[in-house]
Amino acid sequence: FVNNILFKFAVDIHGLYGNSDHFAAKAAGLEVLGISAYFNTNTPGLHLPLVTLVNFLGYRLVAVSLIPIRSGSGPDATLVYGSQDGGKTVKNSDPLFAELAKHTSAKLGLREHQVQGRMQAEPVVLHTAFDVEGHLGTDGRFYMLDLARALPSDPLNYKRGQKGQNHARLVSRFRPEFMAEYFNHSRKTLTPDSPHEVIIGKTDP
């Protein structure tokens, strides 16, 4: 942390992308794209972290402003929407935030769908990808973060049998411009938790 800015390298230290730093760097770019897309929905009352990328000597560094939220599952945790544990539990517990998410989904051409956490008995209705986090910050404002998977994935952008295809789908996303054109021409919406992705606990038909 430097002057309330978190700096982190875009590398795959946890193996989320098949130990591919290339995919991790792409995911960092998608985080910026997702934040820009939600910012451009002009949703009153929704706040987003400031983020930028620094590319230097073959490395990608992500710089993110700190926001007043508390992670975890304790009584002071601020999560009210989405999942922060990989889909074990999924929340939609604040009607006001749910309305903000619904507003953004209409702007982005995203479809309402149901997701059931692996440790939950009943599904919840979401307007975002299940791992997008919504928080009621300690300052009383609503924040949305973890937007790398905000937009639906592109099933044609990777080939069956291609090395690393299971991880490539995480970083092959439609752009907001495509989503707008697709909705304008077809009047159909898409879900970022799309059927061709393997998401444990997803109940969307």
Count, in order, helices (H) and strands (E) of the chain: 4, 10
Mean pLDDT by 10 residues, the chain (205 residues): 91 86 92 97 97 94 96 90 92 98 96 90 92 97 96 72 62 91 92 65 59
Both tokens assigned to 188: 């159909």
Number of Cβ within 10 Å of residue 107's Cβ equals 17
Give pLDDT, residue 94: 98
CA–CA gap between residue 156 and residue 176 (Å, rounded): 17
Q: Where are the domains of the chain?
A: 5-186
Between CA 49 and CA 59 the distance in angstroms is: 22
Cβ atoms 109, 185 nearer than 8 A: no
55 alpha carbon, distance to own chain's centre: 22
In degrees and rounded to multiples of 5, residue 165 shows phi and psi of -65, -30
Distance CA 110, CA 81 (A): 16
Which pLDDT score is estimated for 161? 45
Residue from 79, 68, 66 nearest 4 by CA: 66
